[in-house]
Every structure is written in C-alpha cells, then in structure tokens.
Amino acid sequence: MAVGQCDFPAMPDITGIRLGTACAGIKQTVKDDILVIAMAEHATCAAVFTQNAFCAAPVHVAKANLPHAPRWLLVNSGNANAGTGEQGMQDALLSCAELAAVVGADANQVLPFSTGVIGMPLPIKKITTALPDAVKNLSEANWDKAARAIMTTDTFPKGVTKVITIAGQRITINGIAKGAGMIQPNMATLLSFIATDAKISQSLLQNCLAQAVEQSFNRITVDGDTSTNDACVLMASDCSAAPEITEDSEHYPVFADAVMTVCKQLAETIIRDGEGATKLMRIVVKEALTDEEAVRVAKTIAHSPLVKTAFFASDPNWGRILAAVGRSGVENMVLEDVRIYLDDVCIVRNGGRDLDYTEEAGQQVMNNEEISVTVILGRGNASQEVLTCDFSYDYVKINAEYRT
C-alpha cells in the first residue's frame, strides 16, 4: 500500500560511482540484501547520522571513518546491528576489514550501514561470504538494484534523479532511500545514499547535505520513532566536466538547491510508503514566532494518533487538530487568532468553527489521497512544513507481525 504513483525513475549513471548487490540471505533468501558502493579516486563524501543516543554499531564506525576520505560504502538490510553491544562493534569493524581485503583498500576507508531488526547479532559470516559477489557486480548502471537491496518493510524502491547545468556542463544527482517505519529522522533518514558527479570539497559538501537534510528528511514523520540507524550520505565523484563548485561561486546555490530538491523528493517517497499509509498529509504551520515553534506545532499534529486515525477514516474531525495545536506546548497562544484550513477550506476561525464551514466541504477534501492541513497561528512570520501519513489497521498489522 502506498499513496500516489511511486514508479522508480530511469536513473542515469553517475560516472565514478559504481554499485554492486548480492544476496547474503540475512533475513530471507529471495532478494539481494547487500549493497557495496565504490567511489572514484577523487570523490568527496559527506554524511549525517541519527541523533538517537543509542545509535547502532555501524553508525559509530561510519562516524569514525568519515574523516578518512571514504571510498567504499557497505550496506546490509535485514539486521540493524543495533543493541548488540561489544560484539556488534566487532562485527561492524570486521565487515569493513573484509570488504577492504576483497578490494585492496584500508578498512577505515569503508563506511558500514545496517538496517532491519534491532537486537539480533549480525550474521557476519553470511555477509562476508556474499561480499565478493557484490564486488564482482559493481556497475554504474545498478541504481535500481541498489534501491531494492536496501529495502525492508518498504513496498517500493525509492529513487530521485535530477540534472543541472553549470557553466554549460551537465551535473547529475541521483539519490536512493529506504524507510517506512520507525521514521522521525533526526539528522537523516534510515538510509539514503545520494551521489553526484560534481567536483566539490568535502567540507562544502557536508554543509550542503546538512542544510538539505534539515529541510527534508528532518521534516517527515511516520510514527515519531527516531531510529538507531538513520544515515544519509552524499557522494561527489569529481567526474563531471563542470568546474569545481566552491562556496563563493554562483554555481553553489544552483547545486545546493538541486540537492535540496532531491532530498525533499526522496523524503516524500518515504512518507508515501509509510507503513500502512493511505493518505499523505502536508502539515503547514504559518505565522509562528520561530521556525522551532512552527515545527513543534506541526509535529504535534503529525504525531497525534487521534488525528491520524481520523484521516484514515476520511473524517474531517477538525476538533482533534485543534486539540493537538492546543497541547503542543507553545506559550501564550490565543485561540481567537488561530485559523485552520483543510486544503483551501477554512475550518477554524475566531475561536470556533468557521461560520462558512460545512461538513460537505470538509468531507470533500478528506476524500482526497493527499491533503494539506494549514495552521495559521497569527503570532509571527515563521513557516514550516512537515509531511506525514495516516494511521491505519495495516500500521498495527505490519508492526504487530514484524518479527513473525
């Protein structure tokens, strides 16, 4: 089940970025579950990671290796290697060492990533056995296979591609992502890999990624549960004919905007595939005092089980939205100043139901698959948007039966 059309796009190659997949049989044996990404010699690589205090072993290792000019990513699905203690750290380090041995690199040039069930030992033997196969399959044409290899409860592979022209030369940006549950990313989503053939320094690439993630992956939520394994990586292969993108150049805003667009579109695909989702909700909060306040109100609505079940039922039960805004913890809010809209239908004004509101108008909006909820606080000039999905029987079913 997913909201809207979610076809995987035709992804062009990124020169200097090769992807190889293999089946290690970690949780099942019918799909590839290992992904290796190889970067060209002069590539730069930026990454952001979960802020969950109990982040997984591979997150610790990837953070430590990031300053060592990484050339290889090693990703597995089906097991998160989180809550696995000292053994988990050893397994994450060993997986890097094994890949390094196969390809003739240093172990600290490998960034490891894991996604799947928490608290089970990583089947390291299965992974190392499958590694040579993944390396043998390395190809610039494998974006679709890569997107499939990292899926867990996802119902479709997620990819976005974008081309910009700088100084008359094409730069391509490809991104893939996975994630459907335990989604309230805090710095990055569980997991996204984005690559470009641009030439750009590591420090500028890191700034660019951090800004893009803040306005994209950090503005979505399925269930409010921040994962232990979230990570988002941006690789730049330095293989385009375009000039280097520097901080002061006119080209940086164009590039940064394109990265932002790719991140926002990838984030949206994750919500479209939210566990059990039947509706996509854009929660827009305007006229807040600060961005933080706007996000706080938007996330309170986005996390309310009562709001989410009402949307599942296509029920314009706006009282639940009003109650969520009221409990969001914003001080000195004045109910009389607040307006709330479902798409362009005003539901709340002057402290109560808008005089022109009709159940029919509300019902008509709620019958749509994609709905915006706009809350105008009447306090300031800050605006923020958060994407979420509804709460259905299937969310309960998927998460009640996850380990069976």
The set of catalytic residues is 189
Region binding a copy of itself by CB under 8 A among candidate stretches 24-32, 50-58, 161-169, 246-254: 50-58
Position 169 contacts a copy of itself (CB under 8 A):
no
Q: Name the minimum Å distance from CB 88 to a copy of itself.
A: 7
- Concatenating the DSSP letter of every residue in 138-152 gives -BTT-HHHHHHHT-S
Q: Name the minimum Å distance from CB 61 to a copy of itself.
A: 15
Q: Quick one: 262 or 375, whose CB is closer to a copy of itself? A: 375
Position 19 contacts a copy of itself (CB under 8 A):
no
Position 322 contacts a copy of itself (CB under 8 A):
yes
Q: Quick one: 94 or 118, whose CB is closer to a copy of itself? A: 118
Region binding a copy of itself by CB under 8 A among candidate stretches 96-104, 125-133, 247-255, 390-398: 390-398
Binding a copy of itself (rule: CB under 8 A), the pick from 225, 257, 337, 343 is: 225
- Terminal-to-terminal C-alpha distance of the chain: 20
203 three-state secondary structure:
helix
Tokens of 97: 């060492």
Phi-psi region of 70 (alpha: psi -120 to 50; beta: other; left: phi over 0): beta
Asked if residues 178 and 190 have their Cβ atoms less than 8 Å apart, the reply is yes
x-or-dash string of contact with a copy of itself, 242-281, rule CB under 8 A = ----------------------------------------
Sign of CA dihedral 322, 327, 328, 332: positive
Region binding a copy of itself by CB under 8 A among candidate stretches 130-138, 176-184, 211-219, 259-267: 176-184
Region binding a copy of itself by CB under 8 A among candidate stretches 39-47, 85-93, 106-114, 236-244: 85-93
- Concatenating the DSSP letter of every residue in 100-130 gives HHHHT--GGGEEEEEEEESSSPP-HHHHHHH
Residues 177-204 as b or e (16 or more Cβ within 10 Å = b): bbbbbbbbbbbbbbbbbbbbbbbbebeb
Size of the residue set binding a copy of itself (CB under 8 A)? 67
Binding a copy of itself (rule: CB under 8 A), the pick from 69, 323, 346, 382 is: 323
Q: Name the minimum Å distance from CB 395 to a copy of itself.
A: 7
Binding a copy of itself (rule: CB under 8 A), the pick from 227, 237, 240, 388 is: 227
Residue whose C-alpha is closest to residue 379's, from 315, 306, 263, 290? 290
Position 58 contacts a copy of itself (CB under 8 A):
no
Q: Quick one: 147 or 294, whose CB is closer to a copy of itself? A: 294
Write the single-letter amino acid at 15. Answer: T
Position 105 contacts a copy of itself (CB under 8 A):
no
Binding a copy of itself (rule: CB under 8 A), the pick from 1, 289, 306, 382 is: 306
Position 153 contacts a copy of itself (CB under 8 A):
no
Angle at 296 between CA 291 and CA 297, to 5 degrees: 105
**For residue 363, with 0-12 CB atoms within 10 Å meaning exposed, 13-18 middle and 19 or more buried, which class applies?**
middle
What does the alpha-carbon distance between residue 204 and residue 282 come to, in Å, rounded to a whole number? Answer: 30
Angle at 213 between CA 209 and CA 216, to 5 degrees: 140
Binding a copy of itself (rule: CB under 8 A), the pick from 115, 226, 237, 374 is: 226
Q: Footprint of a copy of itself on residues 327-366 (CB under 8 A)? A: 327-328, 330, 333, 335, 338, 348, 350-353
Residue whose C-alpha is closest to residue 157's, from 193, 184, 185? 193
Region binding a copy of itself by CB under 8 A among candidate stretches 19-27, 91-99, 201-209, 392-400: 392-400
Position 367 contacts a copy of itself (CB under 8 A):
no
What does the alpha-carbon distance between residue 251 and residue 358 come to, in Å, rounded to a whole number? Answer: 50
Residue 306 main-chain phi, psi, to 5 deg: -70, -40
- Concatenating the DSSP letter of every residue in 299-320 gives HHHHH-HHHHHHHHTT---HHH
Binding a copy of itself (rule: CB under 8 A), the pick from 22, 324, 345, 389 is: 324
Q: Which residues bind a copy of itself (CB under 8 A)?
A: 51-55, 80, 82-88, 117-119, 181-182, 184, 186, 223-228, 303-306, 309-310, 312-313, 315, 317-320, 322-328, 330, 333, 335, 338, 348, 350-353, 391-393, 395-397, 399-404
